[in-house]
């Protein structure tokens, strides 16, 4: 068997057939759209918007959202064609296996750990931080040592931990708690997880719409003038220089707000659990992307109209939305509190979909023999990969409990963008090599869309910096060691 042996399309489709050893098909198109929205709307909407406006684009951050959405749409179209044609779990891993061979498939499957598992841990840490913000409303909080890693020490002289200055962290219990609870929910069943996710999505979207509607009357036209600021250089409190304003400011902000779109691709990992995947997967992927883009643009327009760029730079920081409401929207303190709740809901649904996506990728890899069988063992009652969920609880929970959230930083985004590039290339390759395969959804002008998707995603990767490239290189080197030491010997396509 060669390193680039491809998995036959007929076998992929056969693997998706219904049976005792298959994942249950319980998800409708509406469930998939909700899963996509649940994965997308999180920290990006409430944190990245203000950050991009402060450091890069000012009010023209709305244009940046459009630019980032266009880049994601190219990849989304390719994901939709693949998902309608090969309706099984595994996302970009499965698609790469069919088009570019086993080694590339392994690399992308290993790489997706960065997007899903590490991403879930990072969001779990952020969930812990915002839980304390919510508890602060009631004048209580989790002690510093039990909501921070052992590598952190309290230096917050003015905040809620003032009395604990100099205290070392022990472990992040709230982060571990939310990951544990969501893992239990996933083991219980995908349908139940989708139901809870649907409630969360409805709640946080309602709060986002409330902010847009109520905040519209508090916008100040001067905050949107000029809409595209003149080109200047901005240096933040850490000494980092940013190109602010102009076209490059918009492009720089697009790279920042791209992180707000991470998650729509996780819908494709649930293809084997969709009731009618050929129809429902394109609706789920593209539908969630369209809904979130509209909400993002309106939200960014209102936020930059209510507060000033200086507010985002100097006062609001990560809590800029709450700060803007408290400072400028008199009488709406309750809305600021609800936004905090919405952020917690948003983080929860992101973690849920990330954990589900990771277990489904390894489910497919296990079925192919590339990782141990336990990752594809299904619960006798719930028909979910429960052993895989437990393994990732240990991995993700350990990271969230004992490692600071900023250690891996943009590695999650590199993993996502790398997956996007391979999907864009793969759909083009498969259109040429297997044109006879039925496709309920076909990417229009596939060559142009694939090239533009590769270029846009490649440009975003180039902007993430050499430190993240180094970390990615080390991670992939570990993955190749595992592949040649275990996976290649156990591959079911070996002979």
- pLDDT tens per residue across span 446-474: 899 999 999 988 887 776 667 677 877 88
- pLDDT tens per residue across span 42-82: 656 776 788 788 888 889 989 988 888 888 888 888 877 87
Per-residue model confidence (pLDDT) at position 190: 60
pTM over 0.85: no
Please provide residue 265's backbone torsions phi and psi, each rounded to the nearest 5 degrees.
-70, -20
Residues contacting 195, CB < 8 A, separation 6+ = none
- d(CA 203, CA 347) in angstroms, rounded, equals 13
For tokens 């350990």, what's the residue? 398
Strand partners, 147: 172
Per-residue model confidence (pLDDT) at position 308: 85
- d(CA 392, CA 388) in angstroms, rounded, equals 6
Per-residue model confidence (pLDDT) at position 321: 79
- The DSSP-derived string for 171-193 is -BHHHHHHHHHHHHHHHH-HHHH
Per-residue model confidence (pLDDT) at position 171: 92
Query: Residue ranges of the chain with pLDDT lower than 50?
Result: 18-21, 157-158, 238, 408-409
- d(CA 69, CA 449) in angstroms, rounded, equals 14
- pLDDT tens per residue across span 263-317: 666 666 666 666 776 677 777 777 888 888 899 999 999 999 988 888 877 765 5
Which domains does the chain show, CATH number per domain?
21-70+120-414 (1.20.1740.10)
| Contact of 215 with 302, CB cutoff 8 Å | yes
């Amino acid at each position: 068997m060669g390193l680039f042996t491809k998995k036959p399309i007929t076998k992929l489709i056969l693997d998706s057939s219904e049976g005792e050893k298959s994942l249950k098909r319980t998800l409708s198109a509406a469930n998939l759209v909700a899963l996509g929205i649940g994965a997308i709307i999180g920290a990006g909407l409430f944190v990245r918007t203000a950050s991009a406006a402060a450091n890069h684009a000012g009010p023209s951050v709305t244009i940046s959202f459009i630019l980032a959405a266009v880049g994601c749409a190219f990849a989304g179209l390719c994901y939709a064609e693949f998902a309608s044609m090969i309706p099984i779990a595994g996302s970009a891993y499965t698609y790469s296996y069919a088009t570019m061979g086993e080694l590339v498939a392994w690399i992308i499957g290993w790489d997706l750990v960065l997007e899903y598992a590490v991403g879930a841990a990072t969001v779990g840490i952020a969930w812990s931080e915002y839980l304390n913000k919510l508890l602060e409303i009631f004048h209580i909080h989790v002690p510093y040592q039990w909501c921070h890693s052992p590598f952190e020490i309290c230096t917050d002289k003015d905040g809620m931990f003032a009395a604990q200055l100099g205290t070392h962290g022990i472990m992040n219990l709230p982060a571990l708690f939310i990951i544990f609870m969501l893992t239990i929910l996933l083991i219980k069943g995908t349908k139940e997880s989708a139901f809870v996710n649907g409630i969360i999505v409805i709640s946080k979207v309602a709060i986002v719409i409330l902010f847009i509607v109520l905040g519209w009357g508090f916008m100040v036209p001067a905050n949107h003038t000029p809409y595209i600021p003149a080109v200047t250089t901005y240096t933040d409190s850490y000494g980092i220089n940013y190109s602010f304003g102009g076209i490059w400011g918009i492009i720089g902000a697009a790279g920042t707000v791209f992180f707000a779109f991470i998650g729509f691709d996780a819908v494709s990992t649930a293809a084997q659990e969709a009731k009618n995947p050929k129809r429902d997967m394109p609706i789920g992927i593209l539908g969630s992307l369209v809904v979130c883009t509209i909400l993002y643009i309106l939200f960014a327009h209102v936020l930059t109209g209510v507060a000033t760029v200086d507010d985002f730079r100097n006062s609001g920081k990560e809590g800029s939305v709450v700060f803007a409401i408290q400072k400028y929207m008199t009488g709406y303190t309750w809305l600021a509190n609800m936004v905090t709740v919405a952020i917690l809901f948003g983080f929860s649904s992101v973690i849920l979909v990330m954990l589900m996506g990771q277990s489904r990728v390894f489910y497919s890899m296990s079925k192919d023999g590339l990782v141990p069988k336990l990752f594809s063992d299904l619960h006798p009652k719930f028909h979910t990969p429960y052993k895989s969920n437990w393994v990732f609880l240990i991995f993700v929970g350990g990271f969230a409990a004992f490692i600071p959230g900023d250690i891996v930083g943009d590695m999650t985004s590199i993993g996502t963008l790398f997956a996007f590039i391979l999907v864009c290339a793969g759909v083009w390759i498969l259109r040429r090599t297997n044109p006879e395969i039925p496709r309920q959804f076909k990417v229009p002008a596939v060559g142009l869309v694939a090239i533009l998707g590769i270029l846009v995603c490649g440009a975003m990767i180039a902007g993430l910096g050499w430190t993240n490239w180094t970390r990615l290189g080390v991670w992939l080197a570990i993955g190749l060691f595992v592949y040649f030491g275990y996976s290649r010997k156990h591959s079911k396509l070996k002979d």
